[in-house]
Amino acid sequence: MAKPLALTSGEPAGIGPDIALEAWRRRGELDLPPFYLLGDRAFFAERAKILGLTVELADASPEEAGATFASALPVVATGETATAQPGQPDDSSANAALASIRQAVDHVRQGRAGAVVTNPIAKSVLYRAGFRHPGHTEFLAELAADGGKLPQPVMMLWSPALAVVPVTIHLSLREALAQLSTELIVATARIAVADLKAHFGLGSPRLALSGLNPHAGEDGSLGREDIDVVAPAVDILRQEGIDARGPLPADTMFHAAARKSYDCAICMYHDQALIPIKTIAFEDAVNVTLGLPFIRTSPDHGTAFDIAGTGKANPSSLAAALRLAARMAATKPQ
């Protein structure tokens, strides 16, 4: 029997609790695999009451979650109490969110859960509490290291229509340009190819690498980065037997016909990758962290404080994240 998925609470004041409750309530309709929610059961019960949802909650261990899931949403306590009201983070928010992430990772690494699925966090709330990582992805890499060598995490946004990987992630545009290198592009693409083979059934993934500058630099007239940085990375990847092409003008990479020619777009910075996929597949795109010793997926949206507790939050992206996590976990020995 497949192990259940560990779902984090996310920012308690955001829509993470809302979509978790709604996803379980619609588990049959959404064709969801068994999962359990990490956090404060009393808090989730209160949020269900605010939302007007009838959701049976049950204290459980990860090992009990699979059997419990059909009749009640299993909740695994983290030991942290959450008290935030919808849209209003408070002093309990950061500890509650971080504890659920740490525990989810522990459970997967101990073999008690099949994968980590994370609800959205509010980085500004975490920063005020002393959080020092740029985002979820980098924090997960530190947890994966567990005192050893830090893995290089790679963020992929995946949907049935498009998969994208930004080479630089949570950086200002100025800092992204400073950090972009041939070596970083090659390392990122290698990790993407390895995971696409391992978990997505692609024997020879086809990569399309975007140019950095408009029109991929116009032969150097709009900047030499595409000639000096991106093109050498493509050459190295091809020499390694990877099906890679580029640098390609980013403004013509994402229409329907172009997308049929590759399996994953490797983009040079965050918005170059995320704007097209969030335009094309906002409701069913999934954030996947590659390069870690465990599987992690997440909805591709944020905390949406403005609609938390209103019942307006759509669980579609979370449902897609849960289904993809289960699919990826099925490729690993149980």
Closest CA to 190 of 239, 132, 133: 239
Residue 283 confidence class, pLDDT cut points 50, 70, 90:
confident
pLDDT at 123: 86
Residue 287 marked as a ligand binder: yes
Radius of gyration for the alpha carbons in the chain, expressed in angstroms and rounded: 20
Residue 301 marked as a ligand binder: no
Residue 6 confidence class, pLDDT cut points 50, 70, 90:
very high
Residue 72 confidence class, pLDDT cut points 50, 70, 90:
very high
- How confident is the prediction for the chain on average, in pLDDT? 93
Residue 27 marked as a ligand binder: no
What does 169-208 look like in DSSP terms, one character per residue?
A: -SS-HHHHHHH--HHHHHHHHHHHHHHHHHHH--SS-EEE
Torsion angle (degrees, nearest 10) of CA 150, 151, 153, 154: 150
| Number of neighbouring beta carbons within 10 Å of residue 196 | 23
Per-residue pLDDT tens digits for 101-153: 999 999 999 999 999 999 999 888 888 888 888 778 888 888 888 666 778 88
- Domain limits, the chain: 1-151+290-334, 161-280
CB 197 within 8 A of CB 189: no
12 preceded by a cis bond (ω within 30 of 0)? no
Per-residue pLDDT tens digits for 161-190: 999 999 998 888 999 999 999 999 999 999
Range list of H helices, 69-213: 93-109, 123-128, 136-145, 173-179, 182-200
Residue 243, SS3?
strand
Residue 137 marked as a ligand binder: yes
Chain length of the chain: 334
Residue 95 marked as a ligand binder: no
Query: What is the model's pTM?
Result: 0.90
CB 308 within 8 A of CB 50: no
Chain centre to alpha carbon of residue 147: 23
pLDDT at 169: 86
Chain centre to alpha carbon of residue 184: 20
Residue 46, SS3?
helix
What is the distance between the alpha carbons of residues 264 and 267, in angstroms, rounded to a whole number? Answer: 9
Residue 3 marked as a ligand binder: no
CB 36 within 8 A of CB 1: no
Per-residue pLDDT tens digits for 209-234: 999 999 988 888 898 999 999 999 99
Residue 334 confidence class, pLDDT cut points 50, 70, 90:
very low
Closest CA to 295 of 324, 272, 257: 324
In this structure, whether the domain defined by 161-280 belongs to CATH 2.102.10.10 is answered with no
Residue 47 marked as a ligand binder: no
Whether the domain at 1-151+290-334 and the domain at 161-280 fall into the same CATH topology: yes
Residue 278 marked as a ligand binder: yes
Residue found under tokens 């990569």: 207
What is the distance between the alpha carbons of residues 92 and 297, in angstroms, rounded to a whole number? Answer: 24
Instruction: Give the dihedral sign, CA 284/302/192/207.
Output: positive
What is the distance between the alpha carbons of residues 207 and 246, in angstroms, rounded to a whole number? Answer: 9
In this structure, whether the domain defined by 1-151+290-334 belongs to CATH 3.40.718.10 is answered with yes
What is the distance between the alpha carbons of residues 210 and 188, in angstroms, rounded to a whole number? Answer: 13
